[in-house]
Amino acid sequence: MEVFLVSLLNGLVYGMLLFMLASGLTLIFSMMGVLNFAHASAFMLGAYFAYSISLIAGFWVALFVAPILCGLLGAAIERFGLRRVHRNGHVAELLFTFGLAMVIEKVVQMSWGLLAVPYRIPALLDFPLFSVYGTQFPAYRAFMLLISALMFLAIWLALTRTRVGLVIQASLTHPEMARALGHDVPKMFTLVFASGMALAGLAGVIGGNYQTTSPSMAVTMGPIVFVVVVFGGLGSLLGCFIASLLMGLIQTFAVVLDYSAADLLARVGLTVTRSSPLGELLTMPLPRIGALLPYILLVLILWFRPRGLMGTRDT
Amino acid sequence: MRTRTDLRWIWVIAMAVALVLPWIFFDWKTSRHSGFVLTMLSEIGLMIVFALSFNMQMGQAGLLSFGHAVLFGLGGYTTAHALNAIRSGGIWFPLELVPLIGGLGGLAFGVVIGYIATKQRATAFAMITLGLSELVGAAALMFMTFFGGESGITTDRMIESSLVGATYSAPWQVYYLIVFWVFVSVALMWLHTQTPLGKMANAQRDNFERTQFVGYDPQLIRFWQFVVSGFFAGIAGSLYTIVYEIVTYDALAASKSANALLASYIGGVGGFFGPVLGATLVVLMQSGLSLLSNSWVLYIGVLFIVMVMYAPGGIVGILGHHAPIARIGRLHELIVPYVRILVPGLITLFGFVLLVELTSFVTIGATQGKKFKVGSLMIDAATAQPWMLAIGALLIGGLWLRLASRGFMRVWDGLIEEAKTLGGAAR
Amino acid sequence: MTAALSLADVRKQFGETKIIRGVTLDIAKGERHAIIGPNGAGKTTLFNLISGRFPITSGSISLNGERIDTLAPHEINRRGLSRSFQITSIFPNMTVFENIRCGLLWSRGYRYTSFRLLGRQKALNAESEALLERLNLQSRRDLIAGLLSYAEQRALEIGITIAGGAEVILLDEPTAGMSNTETEYAVNLIRTVSEGKTLLMVEHDMSVVFGLADRVSVVVYGEVIASDVPAAIRSNMAVQEAYLGAEAQ
């Protein structure tokens, strides 16, 4: 039971982190049709910026400044890069962000080195908040939950209560119509792209010291975020939210449940060892297969339901 | 349009060059071939096949795949297992035909993967291939029987069975085997573009509705094109295994797939031969640049981005744009304008490279105990001067380049206009 | 006698919006039938329903007695129905010759093969040349199709549409955007290529309609308000009202 509760909490924290990343990506993808490979790069940059800033000015300043830097970078990328490439089609935009991700990863290696940097949780938040059946739940995780919840609230309010937000909502499902109605779509694109990158940066600020901050962060996180976005469906933030939590829970629980398919088969009387046909596959315990789960889900969802959980448009 | 005789001559010349190349680097004093050069040439050869097979999907069928290396790698693993089986089973199967096994492996996996992936088009297809690439890459690290986990599968190409009696102990023998298979594969892939499937792949790329209304199912076209491209990717993977005698998970990794993408795109995805150029360039940059600088990945990445933004047709596209001007015989008028942008271009490039190398040195190089040397000149990255030089060159070169390019475009546009009115833009 | 193309109470709605509100139409074999109507009446949607681009909400569509409303577009095409599109739909990056040849492939038995070189297929190539001549496009044979003039592209599209030998041909505004001479040329082309076949076309140009069609149906707000010979349609009050408003004389 304790394992269940602890994993549930951890899964929620991880899921909310994923949501911070995935929400920006979903907004960009739904509205602009651009699959932003550089999104996870913004996550990485957020962590690295926060690290460097916190060395000079402390964590709390970094929490504020790093996302803004990522947002500004996003605006520049959109304004001077994406916009030019846009006329060559979606594939060109995709390739552009792909190349950008490559270059950013290398620039990070060049600027901060090849090894992980010691970006740590601020001392103020580094204490156990409460205990669940003897396992401590760090205060920092509660902080992460708080920030992600606040951010979700902020997005929701911005989208539903402001005029710009309403137009963005419309553009999520009917971008051409929004443009035909005379809204300044290019400016909104820049806004959405920059905001998405800023969000990813914020996720990096609070996630970078929770996990490790290294140049391979983007490459590890990136594909999982894509899976979440596709799983949740285009045009739906709620779908994205559900998918993020689901993915967070699945990945957390997979690590904890140390069973394999062979164990299941043993219950019905079938013995499978490593030397039986497909033995290796069936005796692989769940924690190790865990790395494969998101991608299996991606393939399944694109096969059975390309719209994702709650998508309003086909991918 | 080139005539058939022109094309045939190019094949012959290319074949002759390929056959003669190792001897240009032959060390006449020690009577030995340069192992490094031969390996690099072999790598170029198999990358050419790999990139061309990728372009069967991307350029010819409009299918952007982020997981093409999966087919390449699986072809490689299949070959490794086959070679090991041939040895331990004492079966007679000539090494010359082993790439076929890799090809069939790529084809078989192409059927399975293609069945899933080609249900979709465009972005959804790209995503499935991304997911499958990660899936198979992670599986390759995990499972020992087929993939050998982290250490991969080692094999030995000297299986003592050959159609021509070669032992393949010497790198030049391996090289000629590679050359043979590269030429056969390239020829077959080229012929494929002249077949119903090849043409209809282009058709469904350009207009899937019209494809339906000439009776074809676009999804089946995508599927079969994918499968055929898997066959050739498998051959490339097989050649890889034969050259390196080991195949690990990075033969299927996302970065390998990215290589195919970069090579094809930089060379040019429209037309057929772009990826040949691109693959050659990328391998040369990888082998050559990596000796000189840690940051060669960055340079390739930046080159890629610049091409995506300004030259989406790749090198072949850039050359093709010159064709109308060449046809009216006014190409020489571009020489001076080109020099005018080449100078600031080189200065900007110099500034950029210096900046990159300085930064890289400060963070990575210094910790590795290296010194920053350009030829015999020692550069102290701790002083301000090299940095000022770099930034200065970058800024001044950049601004000058902007100015000069405007002048260039004026001349260019003028010539294109004349070409249009005089010769007609197409025959 | 079974109609070549038969629509029975076909309805289509997108969400709550009813576009087609019950169309029943029978088109006899060999008939030349025109569909006219004000903009937004649903004519192209009707075409899209027949050709399988969208599924119908209710009703049925039959081709030579066989239901086709659940089939995919390429399956409908293989059963003998072909169409042209309002926005020219050809293969813009291939030559004119290759466009026509692609139009012939399936019907001449070629499938998804990589084992036949197109350059060596004598019968196929001869047929393609012949069709090019009928279309009067031989002078444009090796030109990239995307570079043709608008009218030539439309002609090419008609060529691709009939290349497969479909018995039922749907033409969606074939003369849209053409000058008078171009229209005349197109009409002659349509008349010759649809000889002995069933033709259904959407048109706005009344001279084309009255010159070509055996029967005319008028579609307004997703319904057929009149279906008769051209002369009768011309004098039909309801039709005049639909086009000109109640003040029509």
**CB proximity B203 to C under 8 Å:** yes
- Say yes or no to pLDDT of B47 above 50: yes
**Amino acid making up residue B11:** W
Question: So what's the ipTM on this one?
Answer: 0.91
Percent of chain C with pLDDT over 90: 56
**CB proximity B2 to C under 8 Å:** no
**CB proximity B217 to C under 8 Å:** yes
pLDDT band at C15 (very low <50, low <70, confident <90, very high): confident
Interface of C with B in 91-150 (CB under 8 A): 91-94, 98, 101-103, 105-107, 110-119, 142-144, 147
pLDDT band at B264 (very low <50, low <70, confident <90, very high): very high
- Say yes or no to pLDDT of A256 above 90: no
pLDDT of residue A312: 59
Mean pLDDT of the C194-211 span? 89
pLDDT of residue B5: 63
CA distance B217 to B220: 5
**CB distance C73–B212 less than 8 Å?**
yes
Residues of C in contact with B4 (CB under 8 A): none
pLDDT of residue B371: 65
pLDDT band at C246 (very low <50, low <70, confident <90, very high): very low
CA A191, A192, A195, A200 torsion: positive or negative? negative
Residue A279 lies in a domain: no
- Say yes or no to pLDDT of A174 above 80: no
Mean pLDDT of the A151-170 span? 82
Q: How many domains does chain A have?
A: 1
CA distance B391 to B358: 11
Percent of chain A with pLDDT over 70: 92
pLDDT of residue B381: 67
Residues of B in contact with A311 (CB under 8 A): none
Percent of chain C with pLDDT over 70: 97
CB-closest option in B1, B210, B218 to C91: B210
pLDDT band at B325 (very low <50, low <70, confident <90, very high): confident
Name the residue of chain A whose CA is nearest to B294's CA.
A110
pLDDT, tens digit, 9 for 90 and up, residues A14-32: 899 899 889 888 888 877 7
Mean pLDDT of the B172-184 span? 92
Interface of B with A in 36-75 (CB under 8 A): 64
**Amino acid making up residue B106:** G
Mean pLDDT of the B386-414 span? 88
Q: Which domains does chain C have, with CATH numbers?
A: 5-244 (3.40.50.300)
**What are the start-end ranges of the E strands in B267-367?**
none
Lookup: tokens for B83: 């070679």
**CB distance B215–C102 less than 8 Å?**
no
CA distance A135 to A1: 12
Residue A310 lies in a domain: no
pLDDT, tens digit, 9 for 90 and up, residues C54-84: 999 999 999 998 999 899 999 999 999 999 9
- Say yes or no to pLDDT of B227 above 90: yes
More confident residue, B277 or B427: B277
Residues of A in contact with B257 (CB under 8 A): none
pLDDT of residue A133: 66
pLDDT of residue B1: 47
**CB proximity C83 to B under 8 Å:** yes
pLDDT, tens digit, 9 for 90 and up, residues A70-101: 999 999 999 888 888 888 878 888 899 999 99
Enclosing domain of residue A117: 2-216
Calculate how close chain B gets to A312, using CA atoms only, in Å: 15
DSSP for B61-99, written as a single string: H----S-HHHHHHHHHHHHHHHHHHHHHHT----GGGHH
**CB distance B192–C114 less than 8 Å?**
yes
More confident residue, C1 or A146: A146
Mean pLDDT of the B100-110 span? 95
Percent of chain B with pLDDT over 90: 44
Instruction: Find out whether A67 and A205 touch, Cβ atoms under 8 Å.
Output: yes
Contacts of B102 (CB under 8 A, 6+ apart): B75, B76, B78, B79, B82, B234, B235, B236, B237, B238, B239, B241
- Of A126-135, B270-279, B371-380, C37-46, which one has max mean pLDDT? B270-279
pLDDT of residue B385: 81
Name the residue of chain C whose CA is nearest to B60's CA.
C93
Rounded alpha-carbon distances, angstroms, from residue B336 to B313, B325, B329, C116: 24, 15, 16, 49
pLDDT of residue C248: 41
**CB distance B142–A288 less than 8 Å?**
yes
Interface of B with A in 187-226 (CB under 8 A): none
Residues of C in contact with B197 (CB under 8 A): 112-114
Residue A225 lies in a domain: no
More confident residue, A270 or A298: A298
**CB proximity B388 to A under 8 Å:** no
pLDDT of residue B223: 96
- Say yes or no to pLDDT of B6 above 80: no
pLDDT band at B427 (very low <50, low <70, confident <90, very high): very low
pLDDT band at A311 (very low <50, low <70, confident <90, very high): low
**CB distance B142–A35 less than 8 Å?**
no
Mean pLDDT of the A203-230 span? 87
CA distance B363 to B266: 30
- Of A100-109, A274-283, B114-123, which one has max mean pLDDT? A100-109
More confident residue, C173 or A127: C173
Percent of chain A with pLDDT over 90: 17
**CB proximity B7 to C under 8 Å:** no
CB-closest option in B119, B139, B297 to A102: B297
